[in-house]
Structure 1
Amino acid sequence: MHQTSLNLEQLRQSLRSSQRPLADWQGGEMAVSAVPGAGKSHSLSVAAAIAIAHHGLHNQEKLLIVTYTRSAAAAIKGKVNQRLQALGLPSLGFAVQTLHGLALSIALRHPEISGLDPEQQTLVSPQRGHRLIKDAVEQWRRENPKTYQALVEAGNFDGETTETLRRQAVLSTEVLPELTKIVVAEAKSSGLSPQDVTDMGRIAPGSELLSMGAGLFKHYQALMAAKNWIDYNDMILAALRVLQDPHLCRQWQEQFFGVFEDEAQDSSPLQEKLLTKLAQNANGTIRLIRVGDPNQAINSSFTPADPVYFNQFCRRCQALGSFATMDQAGRSNLQVIAAANFLLEWVNQDWQTRFSGPKANTTLPFRPQAIRPVEPGDPQPNPPATDGGVEIHFPQDINQEVEQIRRRLVPLLLANPHHNAAILVRENRQGRFVADRLKDVEKDGGLKVLDVGDQDRNSRIPGEILSLLQFIDRPHSPDLLKATLTVLQERQLIPTQDLNALAAVPEQFLYPTPLMSPLSSLAVSAQGLCRSLLKARLELPAYQLIAFLGLALNYDSSDLATLQKLSERLQVQTQPERSLKNLLSALHTIANDEQFEAIASDSDEKYTRPGQITIITMHKAKGLDWDYVFLPFLHQDTLPGDLWVPKGGQFLGQFTLAEVARAQIRTVVHHRQQQKAGAIALPVTATAWQEARRLKEAEEYRLLYVAMTRAKRLLWLSAAQEGPFAWNQMQARQSPRLRAKEPSRALLALQKRFGS
C-alpha cells in the first residue's frame, strides 16, 4: 500500500504545476480551462489513473471518460492503460466512450423506455439537401399557403412569372431547408420540442419566424417517426428518457464513480444534462470534471455547440473554488506563444471598443487566459524558434504568395527531414489552389504533399453522382437541375452565377426558342454541360453512365478510384437488372449511408508525417501540430469576414432567416441556462442578425487562434495584396482574375507588434 502511494505521488509529480489540480480532484464538480498545447489528454489520463488507484475502482464502479470522437477515445484509453500498467495495476475501473456511443448504449439497454430499436430504426444526419428536409418543407408549404406566398412576394415584387418561379426555387431549395436544419439542430440539442419553439414564437411581436420554424420542425419530426429514422440528438434524448426512471437512473449512476469530460467547450445543453445526470450519486453529490478550452470553440456558428455553456460552468465552479486553468504549454516556441497571446488580447480589446454601450453583448470572443511557457526542466520544453519564430508577409498576389511559401518551406524540410509542415487554409478551394501549384514539389524536391481536401471531396462522390443521375432521369425538374448545376459549380466546371435563375424554367434554359432573350456567356457553358449529360442518357446503357459522369466531372485518379469502388458496390446491389431506376434506388441509399467511405482513410499520423507538407483546413487542423505552419490568404473578407446573404435570397432582406432564428433560439436557451428570472427579451430580426454576425466574427478569430497555435518552430502568416473576388468563382486550371484585397485587421495588428 505504501509503495502504491509512493508511485501515485511520483506520477502526480510528473505533471506540471498547472496540471496537478486535475490529479488532486477528490470529488464534486470541477472545471479545467486548458490552453492549446497544455497536454489535456496526458494530464487527463494521469488524473484518471490516480483516481482509479486511490479509490480502488473496479468494473462495477468505474470512472467514465467521455470525449467526442472515436480516435480521441481510443487515444485516451491507451494512455490510461499505460499509466495503470506503470503502477502495476490491471486495466480495470474505467470506461472510455464517445458521448453518442454512451447515449446509444443506455438507450439500447432499455428499448421499451427509450423507444430506440436498432433493428427497425436507421440513424441519419440530414443536411439541407436531404430528401427528408425537402419533404418537410413541402408539407409546411402546403399547410401554410398564405405565409409561403407572403415570402414569395416579399420586398419589391413585380409579379412577373419568371421572377416568381425563381423566388419559389430559392425558397424551396435554399431558404426553407436551411431554416429547417438550423431550427431542428438548435432546438433538439437543447431538449426543446416543436411546441416549445411555437411558444417561443409567441413571446414578443415580430417573432413569427420562430412560429414558421416550429411548423417545419413539427413536419420534420413527423417524417422521421414515419420512416423510423433517428438523428444524433434523438440518441441523447432517448438516453435521458431512460434516466427519467428513478430506478434505472440509480442503476446507471451506481456504475460510475465519476465522469471526466474532454473537449467540454463543444458540449450542447442536452449533452451536459446527460453527463451531469450520470455523475450524480445517491446523496446528490455530483462527481464531474469538465476539461476544455473555450478559446478553441470553433464549431458554434454551424453546430449547436456554444462556448457560452462551458464558460457558465467555469464561472459556477470558480464560485465554488473548484476551477483551474491549465495554462502552461510546451508545444510552441516563445514567439508563437507571444503572438497567440497578443491576438487574444487585441481581439478582446477591439471587441470592447466597437461594441461598447449599455445594450451591447458583453460576451467576449476569448476567455482572458494567456498561454505560459513551461518551466525549466520540463520533459516537453518549448522548442527553439526557427529564425525569428514568427514571420509576416504581404506578397504582390496569391500566385507569388504560394511561390514564397515554396521557397521558404522546401529548403527547411530538405535540411530537416525529421520535421513536418502544414499549410492551413480557410476553405478547401484555397487548398486545391495551393496543391495545384505545389505539384512539382514531390517530383523535383522529393517531398510528399498531402491535400486533405481531396479526401473530403471523394466522400461527396456518391451524392454528386446521384444528383446528376436524378437530373438525367427527370430533366424537367427545377430542383434536380439546380442540384446538378450546384455540383458542376462546386467542381469548378462552370462559373459562379445565379443558379436559381437558370433552373427556374428548365425547358427554357436547356432548349431556348429563338424568340427568347439570349443566354449570358456564363450560362451558355452551363447549358452545354447539361445538354451533354442528357445526350449520354440517350446513347449509353445505364451501367455505363457512372463512368461517363466521372469523366464529365473531371475526376482525378483518387476520385476515380473511389468512383470505381462505388460502381462495384452498385453492380452488386442492382443485380440482376441494372436499369436506371434500380441504379437510382441503390445510389440513393448509399449516398445517405454514412458507412460509405472514400478510398483514402483518415488518421492523425497520416497528417503529421516527417518530410511531408500537409494542406488542410484550419478546422480540421485542430488537435494537430507541425514544426512549420504556414497561414496564407489572411484577408479581411475571410478572417473574420461576414455572414453571407445569397444574392438570390436578398428579396427577403439583408439577412438570412436561418441565422436570425438561430440567434433567437439561443437567446431563450441562454436565458434558461443562466436561470434568470423575468420575461425573455426576444431579439427582433435586426438585432438577432447583428448577434449572428458577432457570433461568426468571434468564431473566425478563435479559428485563427487555433491555426496559429498549431506551430512549433515557425509560424508564417501572409495576405497577398491581390486575390480573387471570391474563391468560389475561381475556375479549375485557369488563371484567376485578381483584384486588390485588404489584409485582415488582426494580421495588421500582428505585423505592427511582431513585424521586422
Structure 2
Amino acid sequence: MEQPLENLIKQLRPGQDILGRWQQGEMAVSAVPGAGKSHSLAVAAAATIAREKLNLRRQLIIVTYTRSATASIKQKVEKNLAYLGLPPIGFSVQTIHGLALNIASQYPELSQLNLNQSNLVSPNSNHRLIKHTVNQWIDENPHLFEVLVEGRQGFGGEESEKMRRESIIRSELLPNLARTVIKEAKCSGKTPQSLAHYIDYTRDDYQIMAIASGLYKNYQNLMIENNFIDYDDMILGALKVLQNNEARKIWQQQIHAVFEDEAQDSSPLQVELLEILAKDDEKPHLEANLVRVGDPNQAINSTFTPADPVYFNWFCNLCSQKNCLATIAQAGRSTQVIIDTANQTLDFVNHQALKKSKNNDKIHLPFRQQYIQPVTQKNVNPAPFEKGLELHIFEHIYKTVEAIGKKIELIFAEEEHQKNHNLAILVREKSQGKFINDNLQYLQENYGINVTLIDENSTASELPQEILQLLQFIDRPHSPEYFHNALQILHKRELIDIPITSININNPEKFLYPTILEENEYSDNAFHTRKVVIELLQAKTELVHYQLIPYLAMALRYNQGELATTHKLSERIDRQIIGRSSLKTIISSLQELINSERFEVIETFEDDDDNPENIYTRCGQVTIMTMHKSKGLDWDYVFLPFINENNIPGSSYVPKNVQFLGEFNLPEVARGQLRYLIHQEKLADKITQYLSIDEAWEEAKKLKEYEEYRLLYVAMTRAKRLLWMATEKKAPYIWSFFQDNQDIDSLSSMSPCPVFNFFKNSKN
C-alpha cells in the first residue's frame, strides 16, 4: 500500500500535498479559486482511509453544503480508493443538515424532535408562522410598537399617517426583522433567553434587542405548538443528542476524523457540531481530528444568510500560530492575465478599505491576503484566447449585448471551439440574465448555438406550482383561467401538441364535452388533447384525493428527480392536513407553501455521466446565470456585462415608506448589532462594546460592499482563457423594474464600477 499511496500524493501540487499528508489534529486549508481543493480533499480522504484502515465501524466524515457537492466529492474519493485497490467504504459524504438529521433521528428522546410527525419548514417573511409571531408580539408589547410608529420623524397627530406606519411595521418591517434575527441567533446557538441577555449591552431608542428577543421567543413557542421544525432545529437537536455522554461516546467512536469543505460558509452552530464529532473525549489531551477547507475570498452569502467568514478566518489564524495552516496558492484554472487581474482586484479593494478605515484595521479587510499563483509545471495553465482580457465601455446596454453576440459568433465559428469549449455570461441580477437571453435567442436560430438561462428560483418552485395549477383545474374545471393553465402545462410537458389559441378557453365544457356536430370538426390533435384532459378530470372521481399528487407526477411523466420531489411534496402536505384532508385543504396548503416558503427540490444526477455540473458547462453552450450560482464552476470564456457602480458594489437601499424610522434598514441594523455582540463573545469571551443604530448601519453597508467585491472576484475567477468585461454609460437604474422596449432615452446615466475603472486606467 505504501507505494501506491505515495504515488497518489505525489500527484498533488505544493500546498495540496500538505493536506494529502495530514494524519491527525486540527488543520485549516485556505485555497484560492481553481486550486483544486475538492480534488485535494478527496486524495487526503482516500489516504486517511488507507492509512487508518477505516471501515464501516469507524469512518471518515466529509461534510459539505449542497447535495451536488456531496455527489461530486463521493465520486472522487471512490475513484482514489479504486486506484489504491480498496473498496468504497470507510467514509461518508453528507450535507451538514443531513448529518444532523441522522444524529437527531437516532435519538428522538434526546433530540426532542419527533421527525415522523413534524413538518420541516423554511419560512419567509410571508409565512403565517412569522405573521402570527409578529401579531402576538405587538399585542404583548404595545409600548415598543408605539415607539416604532413614532419613529425619528413624528407623525404630528395625523391619524392616516399613523395607520400607514402601523400597517408597514406590522406587514413588512417586523416580519423581515423577525426572519433576520431569528435565523442569525439560531445559527449562532443563541436561545431567546440569551438574546434577551443582550438587552443590557445595547443602547438604542427602539430597543432592537428587546424586540428581537420577544419575536424569537414567540416564534419558538409557535413552532412547538404547530409541530414545526426548521433546518437549524436539526442541528440543535443533534447537539442535544451529543450532550448525552453515552450518545456522544458512541458517535465519537464511529468517527475517526471530520473533513469540512466550503468552510467559509459555515455558521458557529455548524462548527460546534463538527468539533464535537471530531474529538475523542476519552483522549482529552489530543486535538480534534478536524480539517476545514475553504476560501474566505469566496464568501458571498454572509449578507443574506448567517454564514460568516470571520470564523473561518479566525480558525485559519489560530492554525497558523500552531503551524497547521496550509495555503493552496497554485491554481491551474486560468491563464496568467486573468490571474493577475484577480490579484489586482484583491489589492485594489483592500487598499481602498484601508484608506477608509479609521484605525488601520487589517483584521476585517474584504479579502484575505492570499494571491493566486500559476502552477509551476509547464502547460498546466491554459493559453489565453486572443489577449485573455477584454475591457469595454459601451454607450448603452443594447450595444453591450450586441457586442456579446458578435463575440460569441466569432468564438464558436471554429468547429473545434464549439465541440470542446464552453462559455458563460454571468450577471448580478436575474432580470439582467433574462434581458440577455431574450436578445441572444437569434444565436440558436441562425447558428445552432444553444443559449440556456439558468433561473434557480423558478426551477425550485416550478414543480409545486405545476401540481397546484393542475389540482386547481381538477377542482374547478369550468374556470377558463385554470383550464388555460392546465393546457399550458400539458403543452410544455409535450403531452399535447395543439396551438392553445385554437381552443375556446372561455368555454372549457364546450371543448371537453362537444355536441356530435362539433366533435366531427375536431382534428386528431384536438381529440388527443381532449382525451388527456378528461383523464385528469376522471382521476378526481376514481382516486382518493391524497393520491392525486402522485398520480399527476406519473401523468406528467416526471423524471427520477421530479418524482422524488413530488413524493417529498406529497408527504409534506399529507402531514400538514392530517385530520382535515380534502382536495380543498390540499390546494390551500400547497398555495401557502408556494407563497411562504422555498421548497427545495431533490437533485438527481442522470445527465452527462452523472456529473451535476455538466448541465451548466456543456461544450458549445452559452450558459447565462447569476454570479452567485456560478461559484464552483468554470468556463473557457466568461462574459461579465453591466459592471457599473450602482450594480457592483451598489448601495444599501432604504425604502421611502420606512424612512420615518431613520435613514437605515432596521433588519440589517439588527443583524449588525447581533453579529457584533456574538463576535465578541465567540472570539474574545466577553462583551465590551456595542454598536449604536447608526454605527451598525455603517457596518452593514460596509459588509455589503465587501461582499459585492468578493462576488465580482468569484465571477472573474470562473474564466479559463478569456475574461470579457463591460460597463455602460446608460443602463436601467433598477433592473427589476426594467421593461425591454428598446427605449434608450429611458435609461439612466451610469458610472463604471471602481474596480473596472482601476483596470481601465492601469491598462491604458
Q: TM-score range by the shorter chain?
A: 0.7 to 0.9
Q: How does 1:547-696 map to 2 (within 5 A)?
A: 547=483, 573=545, 583-589=587-593, 592=597, 594=599, 603-677=612-686, 679-696=687-704
Partner of 1:9: 6
User: Aligned letter for 2:731?
Assistant: G
Partner of 2:203: 205
Q: How does 1:307-346 map to 2 (within 5 A)?
A: 307-346=309-348
User: Aligned letter for 2:215?
Assistant: L
Please tell me whether residue 714 in structure 1 is matched to residue 722 in structure 2.
Answer: yes
- The separation in 2 between residues aligned to 1:214 and 1:638, in whole angstroms, is 35
- The separation in 1 between residues aligned to 2:423 and 2:323, in whole angstroms, is 41
User: Aligned letter for 1:752?
Assistant: N
Partner of 1:240: 239
- The separation in 2 between residues aligned to 1:557 and 1:425, in whole angstroms, is 30
Q: State the Cα distance separating 1:356 from its structure 2 match.
A: 3.1
Residue-by-residue CA offset, 1:672-726 (whole Å, 9 max, x unaligned): 221344x431101000001111110110000000000000000001111101121
Partner of 1:137: 134
Tell me: CA distance 1:66–1:542, structure 2 relative to 1, closer, same or farther (3 Å).
farther
Q: State the Cα distance separating 1:459 from its structure 2 match.
A: 3.5
User: Aligned letter for 2:253?
Assistant: E
Residue-by-residue CA offset, 1:329-386 (whole Å, 9 max, x unaligned): 000000000000000011001100112337x6851000000000001247xx110101
Q: State the Cα distance separating 1:587 from its structure 2 match.
A: 2.9
Partner of 1:493: none
Tell me: CA distance 1:420–1:547, structure 2 relative to 1, closer, same or farther (3 Å).
farther
- The separation in 1 between residues aligned to 2:362 and 2:2, in whole angstroms, is 50
Tell me: CA distance 1:27–1:362, structure 2 relative to 1, closer, same or farther (3 Å).
closer
- The separation in 2 between residues aligned to 1:166 and 1:269, in whole angstroms, is 39
User: Aligned letter for 1:546?
Assistant: Y
Tell me: CA distance 1:754–1:427, structure 2 relative to 1, closer, same or farther (3 Å).
same
Q: State the Cα distance separating 1:734 from its structure 2 match.
A: 6.2
- The separation in 1 between residues aligned to 2:728 and 2:605, in whole angstroms, is 32
- The separation in 1 between residues aligned to 2:406 and 2:583, in whole angstroms, is 54
> Which residue of 190, 193, 197 corresponds with 1:192?
190
- The separation in 2 between residues aligned to 1:265 and 1:120, in whole angstroms, is 34
In the alignment, is the contact (CA less than 8 A) between 1:465 and 1:546 conserved in 2?
A: no
Residue 449 of structure 1: SS of its match in structure 2?
strand
Q: Which moved more, 1:590-599 or 1:694-703?
A: 590-599
Partner of 1:23: 20
Please tell me whether residue 75 in structure 1 is matched to residue 72 in structure 2.
Answer: yes
Q: State the Cα distance separating 1:63 from its structure 2 match.
A: 1.1
In the alignment, is the contact (CA less than 8 A) between 1:561 and 1:599 conserved in 2?
A: no
Tell me: CA distance 1:266–1:88, structure 2 relative to 1, closer, same or farther (3 Å).
same
Q: State the Cα distance separating 1:464 from its structure 2 match.
A: 8.0
Q: How does 1:216-295 map to 2 (within 5 A)?
A: 216-281=215-280, 282-284=282-284, 285=286, 286-295=288-297
Tell me: CA distance 1:600–1:434, structure 2 relative to 1, closer, same or farther (3 Å).
farther
Residue-by-residue CA offset, 1:415-474 (whole Å, 9 max, x unaligned): 111211100000101111111111111001110000112x522534588899999xx9xx
- The separation in 2 between residues aligned to 1:220 and 1:413, in whole angstroms, is 55
Partner of 1:57: 54
- The separation in 2 between residues aligned to 1:691 and 1:467, in whole angstroms, is 43
Q: State the Cα distance separating 1:550 from its structure 2 match.
A: 8.8
Please tell me whether residue 546 in structure 1 is matched to residue 482 in structure 2.
Answer: yes
Q: Which moved more, 1:413-422 or 1:262-271?
A: 413-422
User: Aligned letter for 1:13?
Assistant: K
- The separation in 1 between residues aligned to 2:241 and 2:24, in whole angstroms, is 25
- The separation in 1 between residues aligned to 2:46 and 2:603, in whole angstroms, is 38
Residue-by-residue CA offset, 1:561-601 (whole Å, 9 max, x unaligned): 99x99x97996748999987763344335665825689999
Tell me: CA distance 1:110–1:413, structure 2 relative to 1, closer, same or farther (3 Å).
same
User: Aligned letter for 1:610?
Assistant: C
Q: Which moved more, 1:541-550 or 1:214-223?
A: 541-550
In the alignment, is the contact (CA less than 8 A) between 1:414 and 1:611 conserved in 2?
A: no
Partner of 1:448: 450
- The separation in 2 between residues aligned to 1:458 and 1:437, in whole angstroms, is 21
Partner of 1:90: 87
Tell me: CA distance 1:5–1:599, structure 2 relative to 1, closer, same or farther (3 Å).
closer
Please tell me whether residue 750 in structure 1 is matched to residue 759 in structure 2.
Answer: yes
Tell me: CA distance 1:596–1:349, structure 2 relative to 1, closer, same or farther (3 Å).
closer
Tell me: CA distance 1:168–1:733, structure 2 relative to 1, closer, same or farther (3 Å).
farther
Identity %: 44
In the alignment, is the contact (CA less than 8 A) between 1:191 and 1:270 conserved in 2?
A: yes
Tell me: CA distance 1:63–1:227, structure 2 relative to 1, closer, same or farther (3 Å).
same
User: Aligned letter for 2:298?
Assistant: Q
Q: State the Cα distance separating 1:150 from its structure 2 match.
A: 2.5
Residue 721 of structure 1: SS of its match in structure 2?
strand
In the alignment, is the contact (CA less than 8 A) between 1:295 and 1:367 conserved in 2?
A: yes
User: Aligned letter for 2:162?
Assistant: T
Q: How many positions carry a matched residue from both structures?
A: 676
Q: State the Cα distance separating 1:559 from its structure 2 match.
A: 10
Partner of 1:169: 167
Tell me: CA distance 1:393–1:557, structure 2 relative to 1, closer, same or farther (3 Å).
farther
Tell me: CA distance 1:91–1:465, structure 2 relative to 1, closer, same or farther (3 Å).
closer
Residue 651 of structure 1: SS of its match in structure 2?
coil
- The separation in 1 between residues aligned to 2:164 and 2:434, in whole angstroms, is 32
Tell me: CA distance 1:24–1:170, structure 2 relative to 1, closer, same or farther (3 Å).
same
Tell me: CA distance 1:561–1:138, structure 2 relative to 1, closer, same or farther (3 Å).
farther
Q: State the Cα distance separating 1:118 from its structure 2 match.
A: 1.6
Instruction: With the length of structure 2 as denominator, give the TM-score of the two structures.
Output: 0.83
Q: How does 1:80-119 map to 2 (within 5 A)?
A: 80-119=77-116
Partner of 2:572: none
In the alignment, is the contact (CA less than 8 A) between 2:638 and 2:718 conserved in 1?
A: yes
Residue-by-residue CA offset, 1:482-522 (whole Å, 9 max, x unaligned): xxxxxxxxxxxxxxxxxxxxxxxxxxxxxxxxxxxxxxxxx
Any stretches of 5+ residues in structure 1 without a counterpart?
A: 473-535
Residue-by-residue CA offset, 1:159-213 (whole Å, 9 max, x unaligned): 4344333323321222111100111111000100111111102213227101101
Tell me: CA distance 1:255–1:451, structure 2 relative to 1, closer, same or farther (3 Å).
same
Tell me: CA distance 1:541–1:578, structure 2 relative to 1, closer, same or farther (3 Å).
farther
Partner of 1:510: none
Tell me: CA distance 1:657–1:589, structure 2 relative to 1, closer, same or farther (3 Å).
closer
In the alignment, is the contact (CA less than 8 A) between 1:542 and 1:579 conserved in 2?
A: no
Partner of 1:38: 35
> Which residue of 409, 422, 435 corresponds with 2:424?
422
User: Aligned letter for 1:607?
Assistant: Y
